[in-house]
Amino acid sequence: MLSRHSTLLPLLCALLCVGCIDGAIDLSDLYDPIDPEVPDLSDITTVDPSACGFEDNDLASFGHPGEVIYIAPEGGKVAIVAEHANYSALGGEDGVDFHGDYALLIRSNDAGDPGSMAVVRTLPFVPQNRLFVVDQLSEVGSEGISLSLRVLSAEWELIAERDLAVHTGGYVPALEEWHQPVEGFPHLTEDSASPGEFTRQYVDVSLWQDDGTEIVLEFRQHTLVESNGFFTLLDNLCDGLPADL
């Protein structure tokens, strides 16, 4: 697992209410969003990935038991998708290898309306580790996708928020024969498909581990390009380090 490209998201380093907005800590300007080094993982618990992946093909861990597709009130789509399935208007996703058989897809609506946002929340939990793992593969980079993370209380009150770096892991989609070129993305052609791999990121939740505070992590994603609902795949959303499948 650690051979994959990894990044650290240092969410909180001090209890300073700098840039407070409505009582929440605005993290966007306080901390370097990416540390290119893999953090020290020696004290991070190894957990069964079935506890934090999507191998049961169910959104129960996100408050929607018995469902595989959820349309957020903000209009975006949240869905469990199978490895090598077709879930994009562009081509190439059938070549992506997952950690298991399923992953979580978040994206704007099928019309690719930038005003529609996918919003998905974990169930409330008290962090048992100082780092929370997020594996990500996005269809395009930050030129086409907005991705962010909010930390909420168990009652969904905003505690902290920040943008997340958008990572493709080397993935490049391809235009289908019928698809018009996408303005601003000249590298997308009928022959541009490259499978890529998931990028591992680490969210620092040590503040709430130390305090024994129950939190909810909320992921938000939407396209920045009209009529192109670029996707983000998430997997291994783990309080701890997922073991290899």
* Residues 54-82 pLDDT 10s: 999 999 989 999 999 999 999 999 999 99
Q: What is the C-alpha separation between 162 and 113, in angstroms, rounded? A: 22
pLDDT of residue 3: 38
**pLDDT tens per residue, range 189-208:** 999 999 999 999 888 898 89
Q: What is the C-alpha separation between 72 and 54, in angstroms, rounded? A: 19
**pLDDT tens per residue, range 85-122:** 999 999 999 999 999 999 999 999 999 999 999 999 99
**pLDDT tens per residue, range 120-162:** 999 999 999 999 999 999 999 999 999 999 999 999 999 988 8
Beta strands in the chain (DSSP E): 6-9, 20-21, 24-26, 46-47, 69-71, 77-82, 102-107, 118-121, 131-138, 145-153, 158-163, 199-204, 215-223, 232-238, 241-242
Q: Give yes or no for a contact between 176 and 78, defined as CB atoms under 8 angstroms apart.
A: no
Assign residue 212 a region (left: φ > 0; alpha: ψ between -120 and 50; beta: otherwise). Answer: left
The token pair at 139 is: 């269809």
Domain boundaries, the chain: 6-242
pLDDT of residue 2: 38
* Dihedral sign computed on CA atoms, order 184, 190, 192, 198: positive
Which H/E stretch holds residue 207? helix 206-211
pLDDT of residue 50: 83
Whether the pTM exceeds 0.85: the reply is: yes
pLDDT of residue 40: 84
**Residue 19 in this model has a pLDDT that exceeds 90:** no
How confident is residue 23, by pLDDT bands cut at 50, 70 and 90? very low
Average pLDDT for the chain: 86
**Residue 5 in this model has a pLDDT that exceeds 80:** no
Structural fold of domain 6-242: Jelly Rolls (2.60.120)
Mean of pLDDT values over 218-239: 96
The token pair at 151 is: 């930390």
**Residue 8 in this model has a pLDDT that exceeds 90:** no
